């Protein structure tokens, strides 16, 4: 079960930020990959090993299996209490096998990773999938993941949907990608609200100011709560399919209503 809905990335080479990140977010992703320059990775590993944080609320993003940095990450983490890793640029199930001491979140952010999302989701060590737009588009040979108005291009939306469905088919959680424009709180809220409505368990973010925006987006509105309670109450008196406020109601719709109340 992913602690969510707001997962905050924090560079592993900035230990002075660990406590603040954990205080702000539901869980923190301490990042040994893209957030840390190559020359800073040894120091980042040392900081992680020395950290006095609750490992139950920490995910460590390790470097891709295609690089020698992953083995260095794993060597540094041996003996620590961290139990959950996020494998950057996960592409095939064999890469997960090397992480046998951990629970794993597979980050599908390359063309092969998105293509193999179902295979990754079914691996017994994998508890969740996340997708990433920027590495994916770069790997395809594209120039940007979004239009000028902030909307994702179709290829990014395809990857997002594919990862979500693959996770659901395997019975695990899906995490939505980060919104890089920190100032665009309206765009983030729209995106996070769509993620929650679509079935994502959480959204990752890169700045503490984004946490409350995501939490608000994942919370049901008063109108949604009222409707869910009302339709479920009506269902106690209406066997089978029935009409409610002009809409046909059947069991799939009732399951959605129960989901609203469970958030």
Q: What's the pLDDT tens digit per position in 7-65?
A: 999 999 999 999 999 999 999 999 999 999 999 999 999 999 999 999 999 999 999 99
140-151: b (≥16 Cβ within 10 Å) or e: eeeeebbeeeee
Rounded to an integer, what distance in angstroms lies between the CA atom of residue 250 and that of residue 235?
Answer: 9
Length of the chain: 263
The two three-digit tokens of residue 95, written as one number:
């890469």
Query: What is the four-CA torsion angle of 73, 32, 88, 7, rounded to 10 degrees?
Result: 130
The two three-digit tokens of residue 168, written as one number:
């659901």
Q: Is the pLDDT confidence value at 97 over 80?
A: yes
Q: In angstroms, what CA-CA distances link 71 with 7, 61, 78?
A: 25, 13, 11
Rounded to an integer, what distance in angstroms lies between the CA atom of residue 96 and that of residue 23?
Answer: 30
pLDDT band for position 217 (cuts 50, 70, 90)? very high
Rounded to an integer, what distance in angstroms lies between the CA atom of residue 259 and that of residue 262?
Answer: 5
Strand partners, 236: none
Q: Are 63 and 69 in contact (CB under 8 A)?
A: yes
Q: Is the pLDDT confidence value at 143 over 70?
A: yes
pLDDT in tens, 156-202: 999 999 999 999 999 999 999 999 999 999 999 999 999 999 999 99
Pairing status of strand 247-249 against strand 242-244: antiparallel
Q: Is the pLDDT confidence value at 263 over 80?
A: no
Q: What is the largest CA-CA distance in the chain?
A: 66
Q: Are 230 and 222 in contact (CB under 8 A)?
A: no
Rounded to an integer, what distance in angstroms lies between the CA atom of residue 12 and that of residue 30?
Answer: 5
Collapsing DSSP states into helix, strand and coil, what is residue 64? Answer: coil
pTM for the full predicted model:
0.91
DSSP 177: P
Rounded to an integer, what distance in angstroms lies between the CA atom of residue 214 and that of residue 199?
Answer: 14
Q: Are 228 and 254 in contact (CB under 8 A)?
A: no
């Amino acid at each position: 079960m992913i602690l969510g809905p707001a997962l905050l990335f924090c560079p592993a080479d900035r230990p002075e930020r660990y406590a603040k990140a954990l205080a702000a977010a539901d869980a923190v992703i301490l990042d040994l990959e893209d957030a840390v320059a190559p020359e800073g990775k040894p120091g980042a590993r040392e900081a992680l090993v020395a950290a006095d944080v609750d490992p139950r609320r920490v995910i460590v993003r390790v470097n891709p299996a295609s690089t020698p940095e992953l083995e260095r990450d794993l060597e540094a983490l041996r003996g620590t209490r961290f139990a959950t890793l996020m494998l950057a640029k996960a592409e095939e199930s064999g890469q997960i096998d090397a992480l046998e001491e951990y629970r794993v979140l597979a980050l599908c952010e390359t063309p092969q990773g998105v293509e193999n999302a179902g295979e990754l989701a079914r691996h017994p060590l994998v508890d969740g999938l996340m997708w990433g737009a920027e590495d994916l588009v770069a790997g395809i040979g594209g120039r940007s993941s979004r239009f000028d108005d902030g909307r994702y291009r179709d290829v990014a939306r395809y990857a997002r949907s594919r990862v979500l469905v693959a996770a659901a088919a395997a019975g695990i959680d899906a995490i939505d990608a980060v919104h890089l424009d920190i100032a665009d709180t309206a765009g983030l809220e729209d995106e996070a609200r769509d993620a929650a409505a679509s079935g994502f368990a959480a959204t990752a973010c890169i700045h503490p100011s984004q946490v409350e925006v995501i939490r608000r987006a994942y919370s049901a509105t008063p109108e949604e709560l009222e409707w869910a309670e009302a339709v479920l109450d009506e269902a106690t008196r209406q066997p089978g399919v029935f009409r409610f406020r002009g809409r046909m109601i059947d069991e799939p719709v009732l399951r959605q209503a129960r989901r609203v109340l469970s958030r």
